[in-house]
Amino acid sequence: MTNLPEIAAAIRHSESVLICGHIMPDGDCLGSVLALGLSLEAMGKKVVMAGPDPIPAIYEFLPGVDRFQTGPPPDGAYDTCIALDCSAPERLGRDYQDLLAKKKVIINIDHHAGSGILGTYCYIDTAAAAVGEIIFDLLKSMQVSISCETAINLYTAIVTDTGSFQYDNVTPDTHRRIAELLEIGVPGAQINVALHEETPKAALVLLREALHTLTMTPCGKVCWMTVTLEMLKNTGALDEHTEGLVNYCRSIRGVEVGLLFREILAGTYKVSLRSKNIVDVNMLAAQFGGGGHAKAAGCVLKGALREIQDKVTRAAVLATGGVL
């Protein structure tokens, strides 16, 4: 584990940098990659910002997003690769994992417990609400002035990973950083509209279908919904429109663990796990090869839906202290 000044020194020594984020990018991943990328570019470095998966439409407003390259890693003689917000090598996708394995200088900046990417420099701060907070501090320690474009990216990274400042990862320092970003000129209310008030109708139709699948364990502490490929096809909704569905399960009074089972390939399911108070869903997801944070985690399982649901919901009930 390194400190921010060491990361700053490694970045200063670099000339050509690849900055990448995780599969199915979210606001923290995109905002952090773009904020760091735009800032390093302003310092005169050759920068490529990239990630394996397409960018959800709600993030199209991010300054510099047209520079974010999706698909296989772009060719280039990068002397340094920086991975942001990637809790495990698998979260980079196969091609990026292979690329990073061949590079000399790898910098891993993350806020997931047990972040599993082996970098030359690893900076993991599990107390950070978002990687965007770490990038904010890094830019400050490098005495880089934060442009309005960078500020918008950092604000978005932080506002999305804190659930609009609702989660318990928010600290007084989170609000201090946000205050500085607003002073730079970030239009907070406008960003809220872009993120939450431009939902396509198909996403709400999918929500209606998903709510039909709402199921609770007899103890009332575990609740889940299912989204199949067929539901996506029938509603015209996209993968990105499943974001946030799991929160409906957790929001019910008495529920401690909310789960979303989402078919990502025929017979392969992504499970999103959220907890309210006591259960560490990072540990729960780890039982199935996944990970994340104490209150938000994920894993991927293959097999028959019923069996997967049975396995995960039983483990969730046990984690709440309940009996089967």
Q: Write out the residues near Mn ion by the rule CB under 5 A.
A: 26, 28-29, 85, 161
C-alpha dist (Å) from residue 94 to 91, 137, 210, 269, 315: 9, 30, 30, 18, 29
Report which of 237, 225, 314 is spatially closest to residue 271, judged by C-alpha positions.
225
Where residue 255 falls (left for φ over 0; alpha for ψ -120 to 50; beta otherwise) is beta
- 162-164-170 Cα angle (round to 5): 40
Size of the site for ligand AMP (CB under 6 A): 14
Query: Which helix (H) or strand (E) element contains residue 298?
Result: strand 296-302
Q: How far apart are CA 143 and CA 2, in angstroms?
A: 19
Residue 239 corresponds to which tokens in the numbers above?
């993968």
Residue 165 corresponds to which tokens in the numbers above?
């400042």
**Torsions phi, psi for 225 (to 5 deg):** -135, 165
Closest approach, Cβ 271 to ligand AMP, in A, equals: 8
Q: Is 272 in the site for ligand AMP (CB under 6 A)?
A: yes
Query: Which of 177, 262 has the CB closer to ligand AMP?
Result: 262
Query: Which of 110, 209 has the CB closer to ligand AMP?
Result: 110
Chosen residue from 138, 291, 317, 320 binding ligand AMP by CB under 6 A: 291
Closest approach, Cβ 114 to ligand AMP, in A, equals: 9
Cβ-closest position to Mn ion: 28
Strand segments, DSSP code E, in 97-144 are 105-110, 121-124
Residue 197 corresponds to which tokens in the numbers above?
């008030």
Q: Is 31 in the site for ligand AMP (CB under 6 A)?
A: no
Closest approach, Cβ 134 to Mn ion, in A, equals: 10
* Window 219-258: contact mask with ligand AMP (x via CB under 6 A): ----------------------------------------
* Window 294-323: contact mask with ligand AMP (x via CB under 6 A): --xxxxx-----------------------
Closest approach, Cβ 274 to ligand AMP, in A, equals: 8
Q: How far apart are CA 20 and CA 22, in angstroms?
A: 7
Query: Which of 34, 315 has the CB closer to Mn ion?
Result: 34
Closest approach, Cβ 77 to ligand AMP, in A, equals: 30
DSSP structural state of residue 115: -
Closest approach, Cβ 22 to Mn ion, in A, equals: 6
* Interface positions with ligand AMP (CB under 6 A): 87-88, 91, 112, 272, 290-293, 296-300
